[in-house]
């Protein structure tokens, strides 16, 4: 079945999608501007606030890399205060933690990392393979690219490199790493069958022929698979990194070797960052007509610096919560002059980023850090949104006794019906062994609660920022902090009671576990389809607004991932389709369907 055909059928759906999409900014009353200011003053209210909804936060994978307090404080803090970020659209808070000597933290962290890698440890090979994937998804880690030759201190900007075809239109750390990077990409390809299937199905038609895509995402093996897929579908790509730390240098090298114009290396400076973006966009004889963005920096740069070029863009595909928020702001202000697609809120992506991903990573994260046994343990999960539902399901399956706290009566009733005791935190705080926050809120676990916990209680955060646990309140003289492992702190009370705090209250699933490639595959496939849709849409289908991914596409993403499970989808007969009033190829559900 051809993608184009698919694409052709979705017109009405999209239109209907609009309102709900639009509701987003209206419903997120945390005005970014205020938030930004807050952050300047108050170190506690850090990264998250951009989207108040609890769920959207825990976006895993690449999107996540962005909002990170700990690791990239200096440069990115600078980046945020960049004059470009004028007024209203402040996205500021990506890396809030700032005030408290971020630089020191970073150093500390790098140490930890090395220390960690110094002990190859009992987990052996598995641990290694994990660490690769982790590196590509975890922006806290400094080891994103483990072939990093630290001896080479020359900035890539000052080097002249050429690939084997004699092309020098790229800027990366070291082109010689290309072969190694190629291997990484090949491994990733195996774990991303959906994207490969898309490549196979659509490359005959070249649905992106003529598309000139400029991209700004994390540059990892998974992204490379995406880029090469886009290229196989006929697009020309130029790429920059959306995060100064997350680039896998060897992958960038492999891409450059493969003829892509990549401008990215690990450890860019703030200045490098914008230089890379500019080099991506500002080329003679090449004008981009599509944007694939993660975080909105690229969009913003083109909007500000090259307004004429911006007007000629056919479409923007935006992946992150922040970027989507920025787009809605632009659109609200009437300044968005091209159609944009919000792929962050597609059903498939949301379910995987939140429910399924957290269901796996909660156990993984706790095990890796504390080796805790779950059977019979009393656990309180704060918040029963998608993330909370995932955590509870996993813990219940392991035989834990799970309590839930909630503020929303509907979710509370769901928790009751799913067999969890709904309590207030202070009612159970004395007896629980593990406290997990996933509310998206701030100060859910406060010092008072922490004071009353029992010895050995584990406290961690699966929500969407480091605000949920009031960690700052633990930085008082009478409490002793003892770092026992990477990401694991014992906080010791004067009476000897210890609380085990994981990842200093930052996101457990980012800091201490991995994001499965399968999840990244879903994200990447969604992006590719969104590009195809926007590029091939007939004139006028998409106005100058922010759209949700058409349900049809969402379903297509899901269907591409079914073969992984050897799942056999049933097809409607003509008669049945008629009875239901559906097209045999979908979309199968109305827009308000809740899944």
Alpha-carbon gap, residue 511 to 513, rounded angstroms = 6
What count of other Cβ atoms lies within 10 Å of the Cβ of residue 594?
5
> Distance (Å, rounded) from C-alpha 109 to C-alpha 102?
10
> What's the closest the beta carbon of residue 197 comes to its own copies, in angstroms?
13
Encode 33-57: b = buried (16+ Cβ within 10 Å), e = exposed: eebbebbeeebbbbbbbbbbebbbb
Token digits for 410? 């509907």
Contact 342, 319 (CB under 8 A): no
- Applying CB under 8 A, does 421 fall inside the site for its own copies? yes
| Minimum distance of its own copies from residue 434's CB (angstroms) | 18
Q: Which is nearer to its own copies, 114 or 576 (CB)?
A: 576
Among 153, 158, 477, 569, binds its own copies (CB under 8 A): 569
Residues within window 451-470 making contact with its own copies, judged by CB under 8 A: 467
Contact stretch for its own copies (CB under 8 A) within 57-65, 86-94, 135-143, 577-585? 577-585
- Positions 48 through 67 that interact with its own copies (CB under 8 A): 49, 52-53, 55
Beta carbon of residue 438, minimum distance to its own copies (angstroms, whole number)? 13
Distance CA 94, CA 244 (A): 13
- Taking CB under 8 A as the criterion, the residue among 171, 379, 381, 411 binding its own copies is 411
Is 5 a binding residue for its own copies by CB under 8 A? The answer is no
Q: Is 144 helix (H, G, I), strand (E, B) or coil?
A: coil
Given a contact cutoff of 8 angstroms between Cβ atoms, the answer to whether 326 and 302 are in contact is no
Smaller CB distance to its own copies: residue 52 or 259? 52
| Contact call for residue 15 and its own copies (CB under 8 A) | no
Q: Is 191 in the site for its own copies (CB under 8 A)?
A: no
Rounded least distance, CB 571 to its own copies, Å: 7
Binding-site member from 18, 110, 472, 582 for its own copies (CB under 8 A):
582
289 DSSP assignment: -
Cβ distance to its own copies smaller for residue 14 or 406 = 406
- Which of 93, 331, 441, 523 binds its own copies (CB under 8 A)? It is 441
Instruction: Pick the binder of its own copies from 2, 4, 12, 20 (CB under 8 A).
Output: 20
Residue 91 sits in the site that holds its own copies (CB under 8 A): no
Q: What are phi and psi of 490, to 5 degrees?
A: -95, 125
Among residues 13, 415, 469, 531, which is the contact residue for its own copies, using CB under 8 A?
A: 415
Site for its own copies in 388-407 (CB under 8 A): 405-407
Degrees to nearest 5, angle at CA 511 with 515 and 295: 70
Task: Point out which span in 213-221, 264-272, 334-342, 578-586 binds its own copies (CB under 8 A).
Answer: 578-586
Q: Which residues pair with 217 in a beta bridge?
A: 241
Torsion angles phi and psi, residue 297, rounded to 5: -70, -45
Interaction of residue 412 with its own copies, rule CB under 8 A:
yes
> Quick one: 219 or 560, whose CB is closer to its own copies?
560
CB of 594 to its own copies, least distance (A): 5
> If binding is defined by CB under 8 A, does position 588 make contact with its own copies?
yes
Cα of first residue to Cα of last residue in the chain, in angstroms, is 25
29 binds its own copies (CB under 8 A): yes
Classify 93 in phi/psi space as left (phi over 0), alpha (psi -120 to 50) or beta: alpha
Which residue from 408, 448, 452, 544 is in contact with its own copies, where contact means CB under 8 A?
Answer: 408
| Contact flags string 135-174 toward its own copies, x per CB under 8 A | ----------------------------------------
User: Is 23 a residue that touches its own copies (CB under 8 A)?
Assistant: yes
Of the candidates 195, 189, 144, 216, the residue with the CA atom closest to the CA atom of residue 514: 144
- 42 lies in the site for its own copies, by CB under 8 A: no
> How many residues interact with its own copies (rule CB under 8 A)?
76
Whether residue 253 contacts residue 175, with contact meaning beta carbons closer than 8 Å, is answered with: yes
Regarding 413 and contact with its own copies (CB under 8 A), the answer is yes
Of 331-360, binders to its own copies (CB under 8 A) are 345, 347-348, 350-351, 356
- C-alpha 585/C-alpha 548 separation (Å) is 19
Of 84-92, 244-252, 504-512, 552-560, the window that binds its own copies (rule: CB under 8 A) is 552-560
Query: From the CB of residue 418, how many other CB atoms can be counted at a distance below 10 Å?
Result: 14
> Between 300 and 561, whose beta carbon lies closer to its own copies?
561
CA distances from 131 to 58, 125, 508, 525, 528 (A): 20, 10, 15, 23, 26
- CB burial string 229-264: b at 16+ within 10 A, e below: bbbbbbbbbbbbbbbbbbbbbbbbbbbbbbbbbbbb
| Torsion over CA: 264, 269, 274, 275 (sign) | negative
Q: According to the binding rule CB under 8 A, does residue 275 interact with its own copies?
A: no
- How many residues appear in the chain? 595
């Amino acid at each position: 079945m051809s993608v184009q055909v698919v694409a052709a059928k979705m017109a009405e759906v999209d239109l209907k999608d609009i309102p709900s999409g639009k509701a987003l900014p209206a419903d997120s009353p945390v005005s970014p501007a205020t938030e930004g200011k807050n952050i300047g003053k108050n170190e506690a209210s850090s990264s998250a606030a951009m989207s108040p909804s609890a769920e959207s936060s825990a976006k895993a994978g690449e999107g996540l890399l962005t909002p990170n307090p700990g690791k990239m404080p200096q440069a990115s803090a600078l980046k945020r205060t960049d004059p470009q970020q004028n007024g209203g659209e402040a996205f500021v808070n990506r890396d809030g933690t700032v005030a408290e000597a971020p630089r020191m933290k970073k150093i500390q962290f790098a140490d930890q990392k090395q220390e960690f890698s110094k002990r190859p440890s009992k987990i052996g090979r598995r641990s290694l393979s994990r660490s690769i994937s982790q590196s590509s998804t975890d922006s806290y880690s400094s080891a994103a690219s483990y072939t990093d030759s630290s001896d080479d201190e020359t900035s890539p900007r000052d080097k002249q490199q050429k690939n084997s075809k004699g092309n020098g239109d790229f800027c990366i750390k070291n082109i010689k790493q290309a072969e190694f990077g190629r291997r990484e990409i090949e491994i990733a390809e195996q774990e991303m069958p959906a994207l490969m299937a898309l490549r196979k199905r659509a490359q005959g038609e070249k649905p992106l022929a003529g598309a000139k895509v400029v991209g700004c995402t994390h540059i990892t093996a998974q992204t490379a698979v995406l880029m090469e897929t886009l290229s196989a579908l006929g697009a020309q790509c130029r790429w920059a990194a959306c995060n100064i730390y997350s680039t896998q240098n060897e992958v960038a090298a492999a891409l450059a070797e493969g003829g892509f114009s990549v401008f990215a290396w690990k450890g860019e400076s703030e200045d490098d960052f914008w230089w890379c973006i500019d080099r991506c966009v500002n080329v003679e004889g090449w004008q981009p007509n599509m944007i694939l963005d993660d975080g909105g920096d690229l969009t913003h740069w083109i909007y500000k610096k090259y307004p004429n070029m911006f007007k000629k863009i056919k479409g923007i595909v935006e992946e992150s919560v922040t970027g989507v928020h920025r787009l809605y702001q632009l659109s609200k202000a009437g300044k968005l002059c091209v159609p944009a697609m919000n792929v962050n809120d597609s059903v498939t992506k949301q379910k995987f980023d939140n429910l399924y991903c957290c269901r796996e990573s909660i156990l993984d994260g706790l095990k890796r850090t504390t080796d805790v046994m779950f059977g019979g343990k009393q656990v309180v999960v704060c918040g029963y949104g998608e993330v909370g539902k995932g955590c509870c399901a996993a813990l219940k399956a392991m035989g834990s006794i799970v309590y839930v706290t909630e503020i929303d009566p509907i979710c509370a009733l769901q928790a009751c019906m799913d067999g969890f005791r709904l309590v207030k935190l202070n009612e159970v705080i004395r007896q629980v062994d593990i406290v997990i926050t996933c509310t998206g809120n701030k100060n859910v676990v406060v010092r008072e609660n922490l004071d009353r916990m029992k010895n050995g209680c584990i406290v961690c955060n699966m929500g969407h920022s480091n605000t949920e646990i009031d960690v700052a309140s633990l930085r008082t003289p009478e409490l002793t902090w003892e770092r026992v492992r990477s990401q694991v702190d014992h906080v010791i009370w004067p009476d000897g009671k210890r609380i085990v705090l994981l990842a200093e209250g930052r996101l457990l699933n980012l800091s201490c576990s991995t994001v499965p490639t399968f999840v990244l595959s879903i994200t990447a496939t969604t992006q590719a389809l969104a590009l195809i849709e926007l590029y091939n849409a007939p004139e006028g289908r998409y106005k100058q607004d922010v759209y949700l991914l058409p349900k049809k596409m969402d379903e297509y993403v899901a269907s591409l991932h079914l073969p992984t499970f050897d799942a056999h989808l049933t097809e409607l007969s003509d008669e049945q389709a008629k009875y239901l009033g559906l097209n045999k190829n979908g979309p199968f559900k109305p827009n308000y369907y809740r899944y």
